[in-house]
Amino acid sequence: MNATDNRRAFLGMLRFSEGTSNSPTTRDRGYDQIVGRTRFTSYADHPRVRVWIPRIKNWSTAAGGYQLLMRYYDIYRKQLRLTGFGPEVQDAIALQQIKECRALTDIDAGRLADAIAKCKNIWASLPGAGYGQFEHRYVDLEKAFTREGGEAIVLPTLKTSEELHLAFLDAGGVLA
């Protein structure tokens, strides 16, 4: 399992989840998207466009592959000493946000479910985020993660008490 590949795959999974990498208007893997599926053409700065979102009855400045709000871009740009809003800058900010969620070690180790759970407060499209927006199912995110080259730990599925009882009897167990 390669930590670098898993980080790259998690970022790709996030762009898929946020609907940017699979947007019909993207020309650059989702990095050029403004909320509402429109595209910006200059990476010189965050596009700083306010878009009314009727579904949530609010304005949004979300842009880029990870749908970063303008106000957070300004904070991270200064904190990380970044220039522009190109793919490398967007990735660096997303990785910083993941680090702040304490999810990098989970991603590196392939603990995808744990990493997603820790990051759901940042990205509204992750399961359990609770922002009232569309949330992807874990299984779809896992497929996106592996499609992007990530390797997730496969946890054993839980057995029902009936399945455990039958397995016990099949193995020669005797109930008292």
Q: What is the pLDDT of residue 157?
A: 61
Domains of the chain as residue ranges with CATH: 3-170 (1.10.530.10)
- What percent of the chain is predicted at pLDDT more than 70? 96
Q: Is residue 137 predicted with pLDDT exceeding 70?
A: yes
Q: What is the pLDDT of residue 165?
A: 73
Known active-site residue 18 = yes
Mean pLDDT of the chain: 93
Give helix then strand counts, H and E, for the chain.
7, 4
pTM, full prediction: 0.86
Q: Is residue 155 predicted with pLDDT exceeding 70?
A: no
**Which tokens in the block code for residue 2?**
């390669």
Which of 18, 135, 142, 148 is the catalytic position? 18
Q: Which of 45, 27, 43, 48 is nearest to 35 (CA)?
A: 48
Q: What is the pLDDT of residues 78-91, one digit of tens each?
A: 999 999 999 999 99
Q: Taking CA 69 as the corner, what is the angle to CA 66 and CA 70, rounded to the nearest 5 degrees?
A: 125
Mean pLDDT of 31-52: 96
C-beta separation of 150 from 5 below 8 A: yes
Residue 60 β-bridge partners:
51
Mean pLDDT of 139-166: 83
- Residue 83's contacts (CB-CB under 8 Å, 6 or more residues apart) are 77, 89
Q: What is the pLDDT of residue 91?
A: 98
What is the spatial distance between Cα 110 and Cα 113, in angstroms, rounded to a whole number?
A: 9
